[in-house]
Amino acid sequence: MQRYIQSELNVRDVIFTSDESLSGVRYRAVADWSVLGRKLRKDLGRVKNALPNVSSDDIKTYTKTGKVSVDGIELIAGDLTVQRYIELPTTADSQYATHTDNNVVVRLDIKAHPEQMREWLARELMNRIQKLRKKAGLQATDDIDVFYRFDESSGSEVLAAMKEYSDVIQKTCRNVPADAKERKADKELLIEEEQEVNDVKFMLSLVWP
């Protein structure tokens, strides 16, 4: 699944590890209190209050031995459902997000890195060009000139991405967009349409060479 995850989610690197301590994986237990209540009866309240304080190490041991003592009351395999998770800081500028299905714990770097932002902008631009080519009824082998026109003092980030990923754009779209000022007046306009990428609006034009 690694290549699929990377391509579909725009993930740069996927790192697999079974080292829980290195990854910061912790254990906690939850219970179906309606079911456990029939077993514990009057002791249910004690277990309910004490369970959140049972250590991660004790819950991990429970997964192996099937036994754990909660406020002096012994619980056995089947009494608790064990969840694995990663404890992350809750500050506003947290770099990671995490999720688990118990078998797999995922820690995702959600920080917006400049180089990935430029790569995303380049992909979005290529997507707009390809859609415009399709709308114009062009075939994959048709060569066409592409021009852009931004409003004054806008589009710098898109242009930087276009410059950095010009080889990829050339390979994918058969042409790297040029400034509309470079378009020759005698060249036939095939299609022109307003686009928007990252809240920046601009015009894309396809012109016969």
Retrieve residue 170's tokens. Answer: 């050339």
Q: Structure tokens of 48? A: 């309910």
| Confidence category of residue 91, pLDDT binned at 50, 70, 90 | low
**Would you list the domain boundaries of the chain?**
2-109, 114-207
Q: What stretch of H or E contains 195?
A: strand 189-197
**At residue 46, does pLDDT exceed 90?**
yes
Q: What is the pLDDT of residue 136?
A: 94
Q: At what angle do helices 156-164 and 166-173 cross, to 10 degrees?
A: 80
pLDDT value for 165: 95
The mean pLDDT value for 172-199 works out to 93
- Please list the helix, strand and coil fractions of the chain in percent, rounded to the nearest 5, in that order: 40, 25, 35
| Count of CB atoms situated within 10 Å of the CB of 177 | 24
Q: What type of residue is 67?
A: K
Say whether pLDDT at 14 is over 70: yes
Contacts by residues 165-171 (CB-CB < 8 Å, ≥ 24 positions apart): 165/118, 165/119, 165/122, 168/122, 168/126, 169/122, 169/125, 169/126, 169/129
Average pLDDT of the chain, as a whole number: 90
Q: What is the pLDDT of residue 90?
A: 67
pLDDT tens digits, one per residue of 51-73: 999 999 999 999 999 999 999 99
Q: What confidence category does residue 29 fall into, taking pLDDT thresholds of 50, 70 and 90?
A: very high
Supply the pTM of this predicted model. Answer: 0.59
